[in-house]
Structure 1
Amino acid sequence: MNSDKKSKHKSEKNTLIIAVMISGVFLAVLNQTVLSPALPSIMADLGITATEGQWLTTAFMLVNGIMIPITAYFINRFTTRQLFLSSMTLFAAGTAVAGLAGNFTLLLIARILQAMAAGILMPMIQTVILLLFPKEKRGAAMGTIGIVIAFAPAIGPTLSGWVVDSWGWNSIFLLIVPLAVIIIIVSFFLLKNVGDTYRTKLDVPSVIFSTVGFGGLLYGFSIAGSYGWIHPITIVTLILGIGFLIIFIRRQLKLHTPLLELQILKTKEFRYSTIISMIVNAALIAGTIITPIYLQNVLQFTAMQSGLVMLPGALLMGVMSPITGRLFDRFGPRGISILGLSLLTFFTGFFIFMDETWTFTTICLIYTVRLFGLAMVNMPINTWGLNALENKMIAHGSAINNTARQIAGSIGTAILITIMTTVTSMNQSSGVINSTLSGMHAAFGTATGLGAIALLIAVIFVKRTKHDDDIFCD
């Protein structure tokens, strides 16, 4: 009886820790999605150009991506409590500065502070969940992160648009500040430490090489879609990024205590889970970027209508994430990931045939089923890969996985936007609408091909482990 009480108390304590941390991550993810609808208002208020305004998003993405590889060191060096409180305090400070900013420079600094915090929080919560729960319960626990990833982007743009129209763009950030402060206070009293800490020395050259390497790649791919692949800035940035990334990788393989333990990529499950995650993330860009363009430029939908088309899918994805996590715990990764990738690929392929006659209901249905498939892929595949690692390597696994997905998203954006614009230009003689649709068909065709590759990899390499079979037999 005492054993049952202790187990129940431990479970409740773990749930409380996850709830507190997920609340912080939710705010960080929400913060990433609220800026776009506010950009026109910010540009007018601060007297900046569209190019300057875009840096508020680009700088956030760059700093976020640069911070993620360093998080493995932070997670292993500092306690959960220290790192979470520091990150949330940094996030709250950055958000407060953003809300009070009266010029572009101050707002940009605020976005950088927010990005530094956000870059730590997501890998951190993945690591904490995997350390708190035994392998047979990790799927359901990791599924809770899916709720955050789906719901925050779903409500962010709509919430932002309403707040900006009602009270101005500063209010978006000022409304988030008290919520962040509440989470800091609650976590100060309730958050406990998870896992062990190691007094390792920070390898400064690795940090420099990582920053220039990953930063160069992310920035290079982010501007390739706009500037073109042969623009001098694109070429120089990508060469610089690739060069420093090679130096970074070679250094990590030689160090006794590397900043990022790349040797774990030799673990087959983790390697293939990372590859599948990267391909899926690259393919998803077709939906998140090109679909709104199609809705507004071809079908003449308003921004609000475009958001409503994509809202049911995001909400369903959030609802399904814990469910698919439990299915992973019960049956393992193979069946659920193959089904999810099949749905994702098949319904992405539907968009190859879209035209100006499609209705709100048609697009909404296809988009929703597509995200339903995604819910069966993301967390189950990530959990499968991270489960194969020793506990002391999980922080490195989370950092590598998140960094890889960031880079894949940037590459996917650059490639798919380039394909769309190139094919559109080649078909200008067919008229604006038809040429635009041709470009979008080509981009979605490429995304469908990427989905098929991920599906093939899952069929060949995602297997049931002995652990999965033991649970299934039970």
Structure 2
Amino acid sequence: MDALINTKYTKLMAFALMLGAFVGLFGETSLNMALTDVMADYEIAASTAQWLTTGYLLTMAVLIPVSAFLIRWFSTRQLVIASLSISGAGAVLAALSPNFELLLVGRIIQALGTGIILPLMLSVLMVIFPVHKRGMVMGLMGLVITAAPAIGPTVSGVIITTIGWTYIFWISAALYLLLLIYSLIVVENVSTVTKPKMDYLSVVCSTVGFGGLVYGLSMFADNPFTAATVWMPLFAGVLALILFGRRQLVLDTPLINLSIFKFPMFSVGTLMMFISLFIILSTSILMPLYLKGTLLYTAAAAGLILLPGNTLNFAMSPVVGALYNKIGPKFFIVTGFTLITAANIGFLLVLSDSTPVWQVILLFMVMFIGLPMTIMPSQTNAMNQLPPGLYADGSAAMNTLTQVGGAVGTAIAITLFTIGQSTSDSSREIGIASGTHFAFYFITGIALIGLIASLFIYDSTKKS
């Protein structure tokens, strides 16, 4: 049986958590449309500017493993208030930053808050809603996870063109303040504070592990693999993650209980989430560069080109949530990855320096019909197989690997973009098109892996 907790403001509390996570995840990609402006303002290369996205994702990936402990050390209200306050402070610092370094610091602080509220949202929703209502609730949460980073470039494109890219942060700060006031009224304590002992060596291994992998991949954009700045962090990251895994198996109170991966649908569902966020984040950083740099659209126009796909994402997520309990996960996930793979193959076939924009719009729409069909069912089916005592660990592990997927996707996308761009001796527009096209080879391969893995999905509530 699920450990259901009754609350006075169940729906209002869920809304506060989802909106807080939405604003935080919107922050993941909101600067993607502004990267060319930031590069011009601070005179930096794309490989440096991408750290505004990669650094954000990496910070979340490093913090989220600790979230399982934070949830047991602090009350729900304390964590929500801290999350919104930290993110708001980071947004203000970023808005006021006079240089790239301070802008990056502001982004990292903002990500710290998001890294707290994202796993907290999933853990709380799993204990305040019964199983028969989780389909719709997870559908809405899937909308948050997919729509926020996807719509970031669209909304920010309008903001950049009309009032300037710094207002992305001012608007976020205002939303965080309003949410903080609202949360003080409706958020209740639903977690059990047990204050387990923190294993700091595990925290160090986790930080070095995930940080080393993403940093090494990011440095690969400007350096050969033989460079120490590439292979050393990659080697350190892999070694640290091996040590992290071995240590969790011998601790009485592990940072993350790795027994969650003994549940097959949790493992496959987490892989589905990893791949889905990899595709969302890699695409969301490439398409603005392509639309602005090759097809020469303004930030607002480029954002509007992506709007139909985002609109379908909004429309599909609640539909998938409503039908989930009737149809089950496999149909949605297999169909979703079929559409995602088809869209990526389409991008490989049509992307050039003279691609008709309707083709970009159509393929982006196909992709964002598929993504809501993979994320919510994967997440719900994965978490449903876990016993209530492992919800916090499952949430922490899934969200960590999801954000790592986004960070790795962003780093690899920019690395391949840079490599592909360097192979072209033609104009800047053709070079950007070549770089984007080259990156889509890898993204398509990842989508194919997701499609193959989706064939092994079964309903975790009907088969143990």
TM-score, normalised with respect to structure 2: 0.88
CA deviations on 1:114-133 (whole Å, 9 max, x unpaired) are: 11111111111111112221
Q: Aligned residue for 2:406?
A: 409
Change (3 A) 1:435 1:86: closer
Q: Aligned residue for 1:303?
A: 299
CA deviations on 1:23-52 (whole Å, 9 max, x unpaired) are: 21222123333334455666777x664576
Q: Aligned residue for 1:3?
A: none
The farther-off stretch of 450-459 and 105-114 is: 105-114
Give the superposition deviation at 1:424. Answer: 5.9
Q: Aligned residue for 1:63?
A: 59
Higher RCO, 1 vs 2 (CA within 8 Å, ≥6 residues apart): 2
**Residue 457 (1) aligns with residue 453 (2):** yes
Letter in 1 for 2:214: L
Query: Where do residues 420-435 of structure 1 align in structure 2 (5 Å cutoff)?
Result: 422=419, 428=424
Letter in 1 for 2:310: A
Change (3 A) 1:111 1:288: closer
1:95–1:176 contact (8 Å) kept in structure 2:
yes
The farther-off stretch of 153-162 and 81-90 is: 153-162
Q: Aligned residue for 1:281?
A: 277
The farther-off stretch of 304-313 and 27-36 is: 27-36
Q: Aligned residue for 1:368?
A: 365
3-state SS, counterpart of residue 197 of structure 2: coil
Give the superposition deviation at 1:201. Answer: 1.1
Q: Aligned residue for 1:272?
A: 268
**Residue 128 (1) aligns with residue 124 (2):** yes
**Residue 199 (1) aligns with residue 195 (2):** yes
Q: 1:148 aligns with which of 130, 137, 144?
A: 144
1:158–1:307 contact (8 Å) kept in structure 2:
yes
Unaligned residue ranges in structure 1 (runs of 5+): 1-6, 470-474
Change (3 A) 1:348 1:305: same
Unaligned residue ranges in structure 2 (runs of 5+): none
The farther-off stretch of 225-234 and 333-342 is: 225-234
2:151–2:310 contact (8 Å) kept in structure 1:
no
1:228–1:418 contact (8 Å) kept in structure 2:
no
1:65–1:218 contact (8 Å) kept in structure 2:
no
Q: Distance in 1 between matches of 2:103 and 2:425?
A: 43
Give the superposition deviation at 1:223. Answer: 2.4
2:203–2:255 contact (8 Å) kept in structure 1:
yes
The farther-off stretch of 175-184 and 284-293 is: 284-293
Q: Aligned residue for 1:181?
A: 177
2:260–2:266 contact (8 Å) kept in structure 1:
yes
**Residue 329 (1) aligns with residue 325 (2):** yes
Q: Aligned residue for 1:292?
A: 288
1:90–1:113 contact (8 Å) kept in structure 2:
yes
The farther-off stretch of 400-409 and 157-166 is: 157-166
Q: Aligned residue for 1:223?
A: 219
Q: Aligned residue for 1:393?
A: 390
CA deviations on 1:137-164 (whole Å, 9 max, x unpaired) are: 2121011123333443455345445445
Q: 1:19 aligns with which of 15, 32, 36?
A: 15
**Residue 75 (1) aligns with residue 88 (2):** no
Change (3 A) 1:424 1:111: closer
3-state SS, counterpart of residue 201 of structure 1: coil
Q: Aligned residue for 1:114?
A: 110
> Cα RMSD (Å) of the superposition?
3.1
Give the superposition deviation at 1:467. Answer: 3.8
Give the superposition deviation at 1:89. Answer: 1.6
1:139–1:383 contact (8 Å) kept in structure 2:
yes
1:26–1:148 contact (8 Å) kept in structure 2:
yes
Change (3 A) 1:223 1:329: farther
Q: Distance in 2 between matches of 1:435 and 1:168?
A: 27
Give the superposition deviation at 1:283. Answer: 4.0
Give the superposition deviation at 1:70. Answer: 0.8
Q: Distance in 1 between matches of 2:280 and 2:182?
A: 36
Q: Distance in 2 between matches of 1:326 and 1:457?
A: 24
Give the superposition deviation at 1:256. Answer: 0.9
The farther-off stretch of 122-131 and 51-60 is: 51-60
Q: 1:381 aligns with which of 378, 381, 385?
A: 378
Q: Aligned residue for 1:472?
A: none
Q: Distance in 1 between matches of 2:417 and 2:170?
A: 38
3-state SS, counterpart of residue 57 of structure 2: helix
Q: Distance in 1 between matches of 2:314 and 2:184?
A: 28
TM-score, normalised with respect to structure 1: 0.86
Share of identical aligned residues, percent? 36
**Residue 93 (1) aligns with residue 89 (2):** yes
Q: In the comparison of the two structures, how many residue pairs are matched?
A: 459
- Relative to its length, the structure with more helix (as a share) is 1
1:39–1:53 contact (8 Å) kept in structure 2:
yes
**Residue 233 (1) aligns with residue 240 (2):** no
Change (3 A) 1:98 1:281: closer
Change (3 A) 1:133 1:468: farther
2:61–2:115 contact (8 Å) kept in structure 1:
yes
The farther-off stretch of 385-394 and 166-175 is: 166-175
Give the superposition deviation at 1:421. Answer: 5.1
1:330–1:468 contact (8 Å) kept in structure 2:
no
Q: 2:356 aligns with which of 356, 359, 365?
A: 359
Letter in 2 for 1:395: A
Q: Distance in 1 between matches of 2:263 and 2:176?
A: 38
Letter in 2 for 1:17: M
Letter in 1 for 2:182: V
Q: Aligned residue for 1:448?
A: 444
CA deviations on 1:49-93 (whole Å, 9 max, x unpaired) are: 457655544432332221111111112222211111111122222
Give the superposition deviation at 1:231. Answer: 2.5
Change (3 A) 1:59 1:340: closer
Change (3 A) 1:36 1:284: closer
Letter in 1 for 2:459: R
Q: Distance in 2 between matches of 1:340 and 1:300?
A: 31
Letter in 2 for 1:229: F
Change (3 A) 1:36 1:291: closer
Which protein has the larger Cα radius of gyration, Structure 1 or Structure 2? Answer: 1
